Amino acid sequence: MRLEELVGYLDEYLRIAEVPDWPQAHNGLQVENSGEVRRVAAAVDASEAAVRAAVERGCDLLLVHHGLFWDGERRLTGRRYRKFRMLFDADVAVYSAHLPLDLHPEVGNNAVLARELGIRIEGGFGEVQGVEAGVWGTLELTREAVAARLDDVLGVRVKMIPGGPERVKRVGVITGGAGNMIGQAVAAGLDAFITGEGAHHTYFDAMELGINVYYGGHYATETWGVRALAAHIAERFGLETEFLDQPTGL
């Protein structure tokens, strides 16, 4: 299909123009190609390894959550030159969606992970860049059972901070690096808060504010959106898609 057609659909579906984000996110099409898309690679990060893998697999488009410009718009030298050289030589386009993908109600990181965990979504919480990013819902388990379920779903060993009640009911999810949002989770009346990572002091935030917090890793909690989005466009447009799994352990 035509790149222009796919980009137009993704921009509308993800509300790229409406959802605010950090300036370096540059959501939407970041690199164009000659105009055709037949095979799509999806990855969490627009790393050099992801670009190389997309090229090696004959993909025309690399769909990512963390785009090419998080370190700013710098000179095309060193590793930045290597990425762009591979993309240009292989005629591979790059499309990135950060907050628009985090908060999307169907294919978003937060909603998809919550559903995978069996959380019955009832509302939203957590302000990021002026928009409500997280989801919360009901999951009635012991706090240890929540940790075990997270271990199974994420495929990693989850860090639990047992600051809240032994039995939980109201559980919130904001994937990635949302440890600084523990206070907002408490204000939303949650018993448990699931995210990817947080700073050292957030241990005491959780313990002293009275909430169970689960750190599942930034990468592990953010594979869900790009995978779901790739599956969506595969079904809608008949495109071949492949997820490039490149875990960081962080």
What is the residue extent of each domain of the chain?
Answer: 3-97, 109-221
Q: Is the pLDDT of residue 127 over 80?
A: yes
Q: What is the structure's pLDDT at 220? A: 98
44: which 2 tokens?
Answer: 């969490």
Average pLDDT in the chain: 97
Positive/negative CA dihedral, 9, 10, 15, 18: negative
116: which 2 tokens?
Answer: 């995978």
Q: What is the structure's pLDDT at 41? A: 98
Q: Strand, coil or helix: what is 17?
A: coil
Q: What is the structure's pLDDT at 137? A: 98
Out of 63-77, 127-141, 215-229, pick the least confident.
Answer: 63-77
Sequence-ordered strand ranges (E) for 32-117: 39-45, 61-66, 93-96
Q: Is-contact 198 250, C-beta < 8 A?
A: no
In this prediction, residue 142 has a pLDDT band, given cuts at 50, 70 and 90, of very high
How many residues does the structure list for the chain?
Answer: 250
Sequence-ordered strand ranges (E) for the chain: 28-31, 39-45, 61-66, 93-96, 120-128, 131-142, 159-162, 167-173, 192-195, 212-215, 240-243
φ, ψ at 131 (rounded to 5°): -125, 155
Q: What is the structure's pLDDT at 111? A: 98
Q: How far apart are CA 124 and CA 129, in angstroms?
A: 15
φ, ψ at 169 (rounded to 5°): -135, -50
Q: What is the structure's pLDDT at 59? A: 98
Q: What is the structure's pLDDT at 73? A: 75
127: which 2 tokens?
Answer: 């302000």
Q: Is 109-221 assigned to CATH 3.40.1390.30?
A: yes
pLDDT tens for each residue of 43-101: 999 999 999 999 999 999 999 999 999 888 788 899 999 999 999 999 999 999 999 99
Cα–Cα–Cα angle for 187, 109, 128, nearest 5°? 40
**Would the CATH topology of 3-97 be identical to that of 109-221?**
yes
Q: State the first-to-last Cα distance of the chain, in angstroms, to the nearest integer.
A: 36
pLDDT tens for each residue of 161-200: 999 999 999 999 999 999 999 999 999 999 999 999 999 9
Distance of CA 122 to the CA centre of its chain: 20
Q: Is the pLDDT of residue 225 over 80?
A: yes
CB contact burial 15-44 (16+ within 10 A = b; e otherwise): ebeebebeeebbbbbbbbbeeebeebbbbb
Q: Is the pLDDT of residue 157 over 90?
A: yes
Q: What is the structure's pLDDT at 75? A: 87
CATH of domain 3-97: 3.40.1390.30
